[in-house]
């Protein structure tokens, strides 16, 4: 329930817009805690309301522009939905990079604070974070070996994931998460690569009950998330309110958010186990192939961003080093 009187009395009203339903972990771990912290620490001068499931209108790939244009004061989105708009961010969308969500989120936040200010210059970055490592979820039969991907249509989140799937002989199909359940049900795709924190809220485990896991020091892939604030709105805040925003964003919350994403994976996986779904773990040989194919995709990213005037080799090495530093 929204406290209308409190909102009316507040000096600064904040809309927080995102694509997922209210039951999704991003609302529980990021958006609602941010809303409460901004209201509490501002002494009621800030009143915020979270708008779920694109209820302010538009499509998920449009959220970044909605932040930039002031349709929403704060928005949460996936940079990977925007193609090549955020080329340096994409280093954390590359396959076989993610360790834990906590470590990779800390690494992404540290990398973002240093290297991504220009990429997000049209808004105010509040948090860079990632999902936990993704799993493979298929409708009719599980992926027992990488050879099973050949000729199958599988939903992909971003370019890095699409390139990896294609290297196994699959046909990647790109679409935002809210479209995945229907696409699986209608046979538009035969499977999807997602973390449990998305699978359970969207009830994908009921449609695609065959799950394949990639174990080891690095996961198959993850996806990057971005939380940002409208620049004009932020610039208009007095200094004390800016400090409230800064206190509750960035590296101050990155570890906590990442750890929450790690923890929910086991909780949500248990729901699929209880349901009697099938599970497969890829062999060490297949994991070695993933790492080999991923390296080729890494080098292609290096070449792409180097053409844009960046030191791609150094940036990739730094991203990997940051993940290693934060991985315990």
pLDDT digits (tens, 9 = 90+) for 173-211: 999 999 999 999 999 999 999 999 999 999 999 999 999
- The residues, ordered by sequence, that sit 6+ positions from 309 with a Cβ below 8 Å of its Cβ are none
Residue 14: closest CA among 43, 38, 40: 38
Strands 12-17 and 46-51: parallel
310 assigned to some structural domain:
yes
Quick one: 177 and 212 in the same domain? yes
Query: What's the start-to-end Cα distance of the chain, in Å?
Result: 40
Q: Name residue 280's beta-bridge partners.
A: 212
Quick one: 252 and 314 in the same domain? no
The DSSP call for residue 15 is E
- Cα 239 to chain centroid distance, Å, stands at 30
Quick one: 80 and 214 in the same domain? no
pLDDT tens-digit map of 249-301: 999 999 999 999 999 999 999 999 999 999 999 999 999 999 999 999 999 99
231 assigned to some structural domain:
yes
Quick one: 285 and 153 in the same domain? yes
Whole-number pLDDT of residue 102: 98
pLDDT tens-digit map of 306-317: 999 999 999 999
Average pLDDT for 27-36 = 98
Percent of the chain's residues with pLDDT above 90: 95
Can you tell me the distance from the alpha carbon of 229 to that of 200, in angstroms, rounded to the nearest whole number? Answer: 29
Whole-number pLDDT of residue 1: 47
Quick one: 30 and 148 in the same domain? no
Quote the domain boundaries for residue 179.
135-220+274-326
Quick one: 126 and 151 in the same domain? no
74 assigned to some structural domain:
yes
Quick one: 37 and 112 in the same domain? yes
Quick one: 278 and 248 in the same domain? no
Task: Tally the domains of the chain.
Answer: 2
155 assigned to some structural domain:
yes
Cβ-contact 130, 187 below 8 angstroms: no
Report the CATH number at residue 172.
3.40.190.170
173 assigned to some structural domain:
yes
Quick one: 11 and 145 in the same domain? no
Strand order in the sheet with 153-156: 171-174, 153-156, 191-194, 135-138, 210-213, 278-281
Whole-number pLDDT of residue 83: 81
Quick one: 191 and 239 in the same domain? no
94 assigned to some structural domain:
no
Tokens of 289: 């192939």
8 assigned to some structural domain:
yes
Whole-number pLDDT of residue 8: 58
246 assigned to some structural domain:
yes
Strands 123-130 and 224-230: antiparallel
The number of residues making up the chain comes to 328
Quick one: 111 and 42 in the same domain? yes
Rounded to two decimals, the pTM is: 0.94
Tokens of 128: 């860079």
Quick one: 111 and 23 in the same domain? yes
């Amino acid at each position: 329930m929204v406290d209308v009187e409190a909102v009316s009395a507040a000096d600064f009203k904040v809309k927080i817009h995102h694509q997922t339903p209210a039951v999704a972990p991003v609302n529980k771990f990021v958006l609602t805690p941010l809303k409460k912290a901004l209201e509490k620490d501002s002494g009621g001068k800030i009143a915020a309301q979270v708008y779920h499931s694109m209820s302010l209108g538009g499509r998920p790939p449009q959220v970044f522009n909605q932040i930039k244009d002031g349709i929403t004061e704060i928005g949460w989105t996936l940079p990977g939905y925007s193609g090549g708009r955020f080329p340096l961010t994409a280093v954390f969308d590359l396959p076989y990079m993610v360790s834990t969500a906590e470590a990779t989120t800390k690494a992404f936040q540290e990398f973002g604070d240093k290297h991504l200010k220009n990429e997000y210059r049209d808004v105010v970055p509040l948090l860079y974070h990632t999902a936990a490592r993704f799993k493979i979820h298929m409708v009719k039969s599980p992926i027992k070996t990488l050879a099973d991907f050949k000729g199958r249509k599988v939903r992909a989140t971003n370019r890095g994931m699409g390139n990896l799937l294609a290297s196994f002989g699959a046909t990647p199909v790109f679409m935002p998460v809210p479209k995945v359940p229907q696409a699986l049900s209608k046979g538009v795709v035969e499977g999807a690569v997602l973390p449990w924190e998305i699978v359970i809220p969207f009830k994908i485990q009921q449609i695609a009950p065959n799950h394949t896991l990639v174990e080891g020091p690095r996961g198959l892939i993850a996806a990057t998330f971005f939380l940002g604030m409208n620049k004009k709105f932020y610039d208009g805040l007095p200094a004390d309110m800016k400090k409230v925003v800064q206190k509750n964003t960035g590296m101050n919350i990155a570890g906590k958010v990442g750890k929450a994403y790690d923890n929910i994976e086991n909780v949500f996986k248990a729901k699929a186990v209880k349901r009697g779904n099938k599970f497969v773990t890829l062999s060490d040989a297949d994991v070695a192939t993933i790492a080999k194919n991923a390296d080729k995709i890494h080098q292609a990213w290096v070449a792409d961003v180097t053409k844009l005037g960046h030191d791609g080799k150094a940036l990739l090495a730094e991203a990997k080093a940051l993940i290693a530093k934060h991985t315990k």
